[in-house]
Amino acid sequence: MITRRSLLQSAAAAAAFAAGAARAETPGVTDTEIKIGQTMPYSGPASAYGVIGRTEAAYFKMINEQGGVNGRRIDFVSLDDGYSPPRTVEQARRLVEDEKVAFLFNTLGTAPNLAIRQYLNDNKVPQLFVSTGASVFSDPAHFPWTIGYNPNYQTEARIYGKHILATRPDGRIAVLFQNDGFGKEYLIGLKDALGDRAGAMIVKEASYETSEPTIDSQVVSLQGSGADILVIAATPKFAAQAIRKSYDLGWSGVRYLSNVSPSVATVLKPAGLEKSKGLITAYYGKDPTDARWKDDPGMKQWQAFCDKYLSHAEFVDANAAYAFSAAGTMLQTLKQCGADLSRDNVMKQAAGIRDLELPLLLPGMRIATSPTNFSPIRQMQLATFDGQSWQLFGELSTG
């Protein structure tokens, strides 16, 4: 006899069965484990970023020791692509087709990510929190399976542009930029914010190649242009050179420094703390080497994590600190997924993060995504360097 109760029961059983089947069908997900893939340049010209993958591996190890996420341990497979797009494609395909990972996380580099974006979207494999600030990765209308992470280079440059317009509307700007996607996006953002004043205000642009030993020559040219504002869109080594050289040349104007390179220990100290005075940057993560965060609870978490799983070298490394936040965002996404780790739901949850605060993000800063907003970190705050620490000023702004 079929009672209402038994009908309900069997319906529930069928639903549970269906859910179980769905779970079994999601590659890389079992009842005890979820498999996450990543490509990372452990060798080759960009191997400095390899620390990101190592930090994330350590983070997931910590999570596993604490019992995993929703009862599942994380199996993290991070493969070397040597920063060469053809190899990135190969490794991504290996991860998806051979290792059968559930999704890819924090794959590094603009070109490598561009190379695998179409493939992952065609196969509906989430490409989560890509490790690049290129604006093209926040495009849910065309690439619904790809979501960015880093604050967008253009957004940051717009913040500088607005600040320049507000403080020195008659300034003459010189820009030093890396001759690749990263540097060029700064130029675009800056010109965008300056609007029709851009042509008149930017008096000199100079680019450099990462293969060049120094950029002294470029800085001399920029100074010779008579500009009173210098925008430094450079990676750490070249940023340090530019800060030192511009000071040595007696540059008296304002200097803006890309937030790729604000580390006190690994950029400003090599450049000279005295020589770094007065720099302005747009800040979003706490700098582990800045004494002002010494007693910050978030920083203490990072310190404890490094002591246990990594070393002092990683503690001071800005890339490692970045990875700590990225992995934290990943963890939040997995927590939100609950029991449903289908690719659809993972993507939905990655695009549904609400006001997440992380230990190494600035106080009050929140990560937020939505189905139309694929840029998790949008807020930044201007800061100026006083010779010891970065001093925040103004409001959190979103460019």
Partner 1 sequence: MNAFLHQLASGAALGGVYAIMALALVMIYQATQLVNFAQGEMAMFSTYFAWKLTDLGWPYWRAFAVTVVVSFLGGVLIERVVVRPFAKAPVLASVIVFIGLSLIFNALAGWLYGYSVTDFPTPFDGPPWFGQRAMSAHESGSILVSLAVLMLVYAFFRFTPLGLAMRAAAQNPTSSRLVGIRVGWMLAIGWGLAAAIGAIAGMMAAPIVYLDPNMMAGVLLYAFAGAVLGGIDNPFGAAFGGFAVGVTENLMGAYVVGSEVKLSVALAIIVGVLVWRPSGLFGRRLVARV
Partner 2 sequence: MSRVAQPGTILRLAVLAAALAFPFAASGYHLYQGAQVLIFAIALLGLNLLTGVNGQISLGHGAFFAIGGYGAAILTAKLGVPYLLAVPLASLVCFGAGFLFGFPALRFGGLYLALATFALAVATPQILAYKGFDFLTGGSSGVSLAKPHAPFALPLTTDQWLYCLCLLCAAVLYWAARNLVESRVGRALVALRDQPIAAEAMGVNAALYKTTCFGVSALYAGVAGALSALAVGFVSPESFGLSLSLSFLVGIVVGGLGSLGGVLFGALFIEFVPNLADQLSVTFGESAKALPGAIYGGLLILAMAVMPGGVAGALEAAMRRVSRKK
Residues that bind partner 1 (CB under 8 A): 43, 45, 47-48, 50-51, 179, 206-209, 211-214, 216-218, 220-221, 223-224, 236-237, 240-241, 248-249, 263, 265-267, 269-270, 313, 316-317
CB under 8 Å, gap of 24 or more: what pairs does 215-223 form? 215/176, 215/241, 215/242, 215/245, 216/241, 216/245, 218/176, 218/242, 219/176, 219/245, 219/246, 219/249, 220/245, 220/249, 222/174, 222/175, 222/176, 222/246, 223/174, 223/249, 223/251
Q: What is the DSSP letter of 175?
A: E
Residue 327, contacted partner among partner 2, partner 1, none, CB below 5-8 A by kind: none
- Of 63 and 79, which CB lies nearer to partner 1 in the complex structure? 79
How many residues touch partner 2 (CB under 8 A)? 44
Mask 251-280, x = binds partner 2 (CB under 8 A)? ------------------------------
- Of 80 and 340, which CB lies nearer to partner 2 in the complex structure? 80
5, two tokens: 């109760």
How far apart (Å, rounded) are the C-alpha atoms in residues 183 and 389?
A: 26
- Of 241 and 258, which CB lies nearer to partner 1 in the complex structure? 241
Among 27, 38, 121, CA closest to 341: 27
Amino acid at 40: M
Are 206 and 235 in contact by the 8 Å Cβ rule? The answer is no
- Of 39 and 223, which CB lies nearer to partner 2 in the complex structure? 39
Q: Figure out which of the listed residues 30, 43, 70, 373 binds partner 2, where binding follows CB under 8 A.
A: 43
| CB-neighbour burial class of residue 222 (10 A; exposed 0-12, middle 13-18, buried 19+) | buried
R_g of the chain, CA atoms, integer Å: 23
The reply on whether position 119 binds partner 2 by CB under 8 A is yes
- Of 28 and 112, which CB lies nearer to partner 2 in the complex structure? 112
The reply on whether position 239 binds partner 2 by CB under 8 A is no
Are 261 and 282 in contact by the 8 Å Cβ rule? The answer is no
The reply on whether position 80 binds partner 2 by CB under 8 A is yes
Residue 97, contacted partner among partner 1, partner 2, none, CB below 5-8 A by kind: partner 2
- Of 212 and 386, which CB lies nearer to partner 2 in the complex structure? 212
User: Who's near 229: CB < 8 A, 6+ residues apart?
Assistant: 164, 168, 171, 172, 173, 174, 253, 254, 255, 256
Identify which range of 43-51, 147-155, 156-164, 279-287 contacts partner 2 by CB under 8 A: 43-51
- Of 101 and 267, which CB lies nearer to partner 1 in the complex structure? 267
Task: Give the total residue count for the chain.
Answer: 399
Q: What are phi and psi of 254, to 5 degrees?
A: -85, 145
Identify which range of 42-50, 254-262, 300-308, 349-357 contacts partner 2 by CB under 8 A: 42-50
The three-state secondary structure class of 90 is helix
Binding site for partner 2 (CB under 8 A): 42-45, 47, 50-51, 53-54, 57-58, 78-80, 82-87, 89-90, 93-94, 96-98, 109-112, 114-115, 118-119, 134, 136, 179-181, 184, 209, 211, 311
